[in-house]
């Protein structure tokens, strides 16, 4: 819900910088029509790390979440490969 207009706003972003991502309260990650995550934006990165996905230190949260939807880009932590 937007603070100024009290409206719900849906936004799709690709390669959003961290400062833009941090403006979001909630995020939904959808891949091939399936919801992978829906919840607080500030918890999404850790959620997938806890599941065993590898996130490069220099990767923004938005880039990391986008990479999870690409089988050629997503990486697993050592010993946690599928």
Its domain, for residue 49, covers 1-82
Number of domains in the chain: 1
Q: Which residues, in sequence order, are CB contacts of 33 under 8 Å at separation 6+?
A: none
Stated pTM of the model: 0.83
Residue-wise pLDDT for 27-73, tens only, equals 999 999 999 999 999 999 999 999 999 999 999 999 999 999 999 99
pLDDT at residue 9 is higher than 90:
no
């Amino acid at each position: 819900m937007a603070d100024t207009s009290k409206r719900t706003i849906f936004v799709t972003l690709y390669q959003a910088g961290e400062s833009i991502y941090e403006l979001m309260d909630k995020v939904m990650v959808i891949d091939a029509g399936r919801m992978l995550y829906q919840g607080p934006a500030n918890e999404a990165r850790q959620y997938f790390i806890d599941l065993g996905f590898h996130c490069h230190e220099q990767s923004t949260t938005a880039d990391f979440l986008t990479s999870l939807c690409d089988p050629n880009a997503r990486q697993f932590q050592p010993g946690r490969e599928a």
